[in-house]
């Protein structure tokens, strides 16, 4: 799948399957493995500032819209 033609930066998706949560209840868990209820909590309370916040907000939108399948092939690599 060519993500760039769809306006999706493939690097962001690669980060979601390789970067671990740096703190909190899900410290050291891959971002893509964080449960949606935790992302919903962030959506209500506010995502962190900076890159981590952007990653979590992106992941939230992916999971909210049932697009998890986009991450599965990247996670296997």
Q: Would you call 36 helix, strand, or coil by DSSP?
A: helix
Reported as type and span, the H/E element at residue 26 is none
pLDDT classification of 77: cutoffs 50, 70, 90: low
Tell me whether residue 42 is in a domain. Answer: yes
Tell me whether residue 20 is in a domain. Answer: yes
pLDDT tens digits, 35-46: 999 999 999 999
Tell me whether residue 3 is in a domain. Answer: no
The rounded Cα 26 to chain-centroid distance in angstroms is: 13
What's the token pair of residue 34?
């964080």
Helix intervals (H) in the chain? 10-16, 36-45, 50-64, 72-76
pLDDT tens digits, 55-69: 999 999 999 999 999
pLDDT classification of 7: cutoffs 50, 70, 90: low
pTM of the predicted model as reported, rounded to 2 decimal places: 0.86
| Residues spanned by the domain of 25 | 9-76
* CB-based contacts of 15, cutoff 8 Å, min separation 6: 31, 55
Tell me whether residue 2 is in a domain. Answer: no
């Amino acid at each position: 799948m060519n993500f760039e033609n769809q306006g999706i930066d493939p690097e962001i998706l690669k980060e979601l399957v390789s970067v671990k949560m740096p703190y909190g209840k899900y410290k050291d868990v891959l971002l893509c493995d964080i449960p949606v209820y935790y992302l919903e909590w962030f959506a209500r309370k506010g995502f962190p500032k900076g890159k981590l916040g952007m990653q979590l907000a992106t992941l939230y939108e992916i999971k909210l819209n049932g697009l998890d399948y986009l991450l599965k092939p990247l996670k296997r690599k």
